[in-house]
Homo-oligomer: A and B are copies of this chain.
Amino acid sequence: MDLRQLRYFCAVVREGHFGRAAASLGIAQPPLSRQIQSLERRLGVELLHRTQKKFEVTQAGLLLYERARRLLDGADQAVDDVRRLGSGETGRLTVGFAPSNAFTLLPPIVARFRSAYPDVELELRQLTTSILVTSLESGSLDVALLRPPLSSRSLQIVTLIREPFLALVPSTHRLAARSDMQLRQFAGEPFVMYSRVGLPLLHARVMDMCRRAHFSPHIVQYAEQIHTVAGFVAAGIGVAVAPSTVTRFNMPGLRVLQIAENPAPLAMAMAWRTGTATGLVRNFTRIAREATSAWQAAQRAESA
C-alpha cells in the first residue's frame, strides 16, 4: 500500500472531479488519473465506476475512502506525536536535584520549564549528590542539578551559577566597618559552622578554606541551614563564611565582607549523560540556563 495513492484517491472522492482533485493536490490531472488506475490495478478492484465522462464511487471505493482517511489521519497524528516527542515538547523527564537546590534554583527552573513545555511529564527527585551521579549514569535520571566537582567521563556538566564565599560578622565585631578581610583574621574567633551531616559540602569547603589559611576554626555552634548560620552571626554568637546567597536575607546586625583570599566560589551545576541528545534534555538544559540568568538578574535587582 502506498499512502500517496490513498491521499490522491481521497482527494478524487472528496472533490468528485479529477481536475479539481489534482489542483488541490498540487499536481497535474494526467498523473492523478494514472495513480488512481494503478491503485485499482494493485487492488484488483474497481473503485470508481467510469460511466461516460463522469464517474461514481463504487461500494469498494467508499469503503476504501473511509479506511484511507483514517489511515492518513493516523499517519499525520503519528508524525506529529513523534515530532513532538523528538523535539522534547512531550514525553517524560526525570530530574534529580541536591537538597541545596530545593529552595533556590530549582523552583524558578521548574516553573519556567512547566510553562514552556506544559505537555512534558516532569518527575522530580531529591537525592544526595553521589546517588544523583549513579542514577544519571544508570539512566534512571535524565538530568540533575548538583554541586561540582564530580568526575565521570560519561556525564556532561554545565555550571549554572557561581556564588563567591563571603565572610559574615556581627555588626558589633571589630571588622564590621571594613569591606574586606583576610580569612586568617578569623583564627581563634568563635566560629559558626555548617553541620557535617546536613550540609557536608559547605562544611568541607569552609573547613578546607580555613586549612589553606593555616588555622583550624574555633567552632562554637553548628547549623543545619545557611540562613540559620546567618542568624547566629547576626545574633553575635560568632563569625562565619557563607556563599553570597546570604546577602538576600538582609538581616539586621549582620555584616558581610569580601574575603581577600578569594576562595573558589560555590558552584551549582547541571549534569546529564553524554550522548543523550533527546530533545527533552536539550530543552530542559536550555530552560535551566535561561531561568538561572533570570533568577540572577532578579537577585541583583533585589539587592540593589
**Contacts from A to B (Cβ < 8 Å):** 1-4, 43-47, 49, 51, 58-60, 63-64, 67-68, 70-71, 74-79, 81-83, 85-87, 91, 275, 277-279
B3, A45: Cβ atoms closer than 8 Å: no
The docked-state distance in angstroms from the alpha carbon of A82 to that of B168 is: 82
A86, B3: Cβ atoms closer than 8 Å: no
B83, A277: Cβ atoms closer than 8 Å: no
The docked-state distance in angstroms from the alpha carbon of A64 to that of B87 is: 14
Residues of B within 8 A of A82 (CB): 43, 45, 47, 60, 63-64, 67
B1, A45: Cβ atoms closer than 8 Å: no
Instruction: Show 13 residue pairs from A and B whose CB-CB distance is below 8 angstroms, ordered by the A residue.
Output: A1-B78, A2-B4, A43-B86, A44-B83, A45-B82, A46-B277, A49-B275, A58-B86, A60-B82, A60-B85, A60-B86, A60-B278, A67-B77
Question: A60-B85, A63-B85 are contacts. A79–B278 as well, Cβ < 8 Å?
Answer: no
Copies of this subunit: 2
- How close is A73's CB to chain B, nearest CB, in angstroms? 10
The docked-state distance in angstroms from the alpha carbon of A222 to that of B295 is: 108
- How close is A105's CB to chain B, nearest CB, in angstroms? 26
Specify which of A47, A59, A70 lies most central, judged by the most chain B CB atoms within 10 Å of its CB: A59
A75, B278: Cβ atoms closer than 8 Å: no
Our pick among B68, B77, B86, B275 for the contact of A45 (Cβ within 8 Å) is B86
- How close is A284's CB to chain B, nearest CB, in angstroms? 14
B51, A275: Cβ atoms closer than 8 Å: yes
- How close is A256's CB to chain B, nearest CB, in angstroms? 47
Residues of B within 8 A of A91 (CB): 59
- How close is A132's CB to chain B, nearest CB, in angstroms? 21
A45, B85: Cβ atoms closer than 8 Å: yes
